[in-house]
Amino acid sequence: MSPLHDMLYEAVLHTASTQAPLNYDSPLALKAFLETCGLGMRKKFGQNFLINPGARKTLLDALELEPGEGVWEIGPGLGAMTWDLLERGAWVKAFEIDPGFIQVLRTFFGTHPRFCLVPGDVLKTWPHAGEEKYLLGNLPYTIGSRVLGTFIEQNRLFTRMVVTVQRELAQRMRATPGSKDYSSFSVLCTSAYTIKPLSILKGSSFYPVPHVESQGLRLDLRTDVDPRRYPACFRPLVRCLFASRRKTIKHNVYGFVASYILTKQGISKDSARITREVLDFCGISGDKRAEVLGLEDFVALAAVLERITNAEL
């Protein structure tokens, strides 16, 4: 038998008992396991195991899962959080891209009745993965913003998400109008979720040790608005207004109006007039820049733009 098979077999014996299959808190144990199995960490996948048990508990507690509820886990790695989720009675759907880790997860948890593995790139596999209400993820730095952005853009919304991301990304997600970190991604995230910061995680909380700090976040689906009911042009408009952030709102709205009408109808209209009408109706000065507008301003602009352009067409 191969070393990988032998090592996994021993781990399965532990899994079948009441013990976790590995010492997930020990960098030395994880390193030895990887070396014995002939596995390694891949930089392109942004892999860093969360070895801080207190941090893992904080994240799990923040999720507030009841036994029997389903959760997506993104980036399970060798299964530290997977084990804890199963211990808490959750039904776990785990998304993993690394072929070696996929084999490990199948061996550790493949026979567990509440475990389902979804192999491959989560950005490609998620549309066919069901509708669980909760998400937990130690998100790889390389794809964190893409994963969250894609889910929100595609209206794949969760009742609650608890994630770790690079600290700079967390700051962007929670940024307020007028701050240096405020961006279209800030508006996108806060349009769907209220975001609560959890603990800041130093590099020593991970193996291998990253050169950046991480931040735990809890995202709760907004209940004061329906994030699925924003005007169709809301998110494209936000992106457009921030694309040339040093230009005025009037300039960027004009460009968006021209392209939006052309896309919808295949003809051009008086974009300058429509731009003036939209800004006047919303009471927004065209000389401002996007970074000073709040979520309500963007929603108002999109709603009026939809109404005026539909009337024009």
Domain end residue (candidates: 228, 257, 289): 228
Is a pLDDT exceeding 80 seen at residue 34?
yes
Whether 169 and 271 map to the same domain: the answer is no
Q: Provide the domain count of the chain.
A: 2
Is a pLDDT exceeding 90 seen at residue 23?
yes
Whether 24 and 148 map to the same domain: the answer is yes
Q: Which of 6-10, 74-78, 188-192, 206-210 has the lowest mean pLDDT?
A: 6-10
Average pLDDT over residues 275-282: 92
pLDDT band at 158 (very low <50, low <70, confident <90, very high): very high
Q: pLDDT by residue (tens digit) across 101-129?
A: 999 999 999 999 999 999 999 999 999 99
Whether 240 and 308 map to the same domain: the answer is yes
In the chain, the amino acid numbered 88 is R
Q: pLDDT by residue (tens digit) across 186-216?
A: 999 999 999 999 999 999 999 999 999 999 9
Whether 182 and 258 map to the same domain: the answer is no
Whether 167 and 64 map to the same domain: the answer is yes
Domain end residue (candidates: 179, 196, 228): 228
Whether 61 and 196 map to the same domain: the answer is yes
pLDDT band at 7 (very low <50, low <70, confident <90, very high): low
Domain end residue (candidates: 183, 201, 228): 228
- Supply the CATH number for residue 306's domain: 1.10.8.100
Give the range of the structural domain holding residue 234, as residue numbers without chain letter: 230-312
Is a pLDDT exceeding 60 seen at residue 11?
no
* Class of residue 128 by CB neighbours under 10 A (exposed 0-12, middle 13-18, buried 19+): exposed
Q: Which two tokens stand for residue 98?
A: 């690394």
Q: 112 by DSSP, 3-state: which?
A: coil
- Supply the CATH number for residue 138's domain: 3.40.50.150
Average pLDDT taken over every residue of the chain: 90
94 touches 117 (CB < 8 A): yes
Whether 294 and 216 map to the same domain: the answer is no
Whether 152 and 280 map to the same domain: the answer is no
Angle at 199 between CA 193 and CA 205, to 5 degrees: 125
Average pLDDT over residues 300-311: 85
More confident residue, 313 or 61: 61
Whether 87 and 168 map to the same domain: the answer is yes
Average pLDDT over residues 44-60: 91
Is a pLDDT exceeding 90 seen at residue 27?
yes
pLDDT band at 56 (very low <50, low <70, confident <90, very high): very high
The pLDDT score that the predictor gives to residue 1 is: 42
The pLDDT score that the predictor gives to residue 263 is: 63
Whether 41 and 30 map to the same domain: the answer is yes
pLDDT band at 40 (very low <50, low <70, confident <90, very high): confident
Whether 138 and 55 map to the same domain: the answer is yes
Is a pLDDT exceeding 80 seen at residue 63?
yes
Q: pLDDT by residue (tens digit) across 251-267?
A: 999 988 888 766 665 55
Whether 211 and 72 map to the same domain: the answer is yes
Long-range contacts of 20-26 (CB under 8 A, 24+ apart): 20/80, 20/83, 21/79, 21/83, 21/108, 22/78, 22/79, 22/80, 24/49, 24/51, 24/53, 24/56, 24/78, 24/79, 24/80, 24/83, 25/51, 25/52, 25/53, 26/51
